[in-house]
């Protein structure tokens, strides 16, 4: 949540894009906008979507929830 708070203070466009990605993940967790990519190695089980060229939204999906691991910087 710190990254989202940081984004709110610094970049409204990035915040809007992040919110749009989260909404799309709720509908279709493994396809859609942001070029979803299954991660490997120590992040196996996590997915990544592009917020912009620098930042990625890293998340995993359980039966009950979407867990966001990171939404700032590249994994």
Active site residues: 37, 74
Helix (H, G, I), strand (E, B) or coil at 60: strand
Query: Among all chains, which residue has been given the structure tokens 């990544």?
Result: 48
Query: Among all chains, which residue has been given the structure tokens 């799309």?
Result: 24
Distance of CA 10 to the CA centre of its chain: 18
Which phi and psi angles does 69 have, rounded to 5°?
-85, -35
């Amino acid at each position: 949540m710190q990254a989202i708070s940081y984004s709110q203070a610094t970049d409204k466009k990035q915040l809007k894009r992040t919110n749009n990605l989260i909404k799309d993940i709720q509908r279709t967790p493994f396809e859609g906008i942001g070029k979803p990519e299954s991660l490997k190695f120590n992040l196996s089980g996590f997915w990544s979507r592009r917020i912009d060229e620098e930042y990625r939204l890293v998340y995993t999906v359980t039966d009950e929830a979407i867990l966001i691991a990171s939404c700032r910087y590249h994994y």
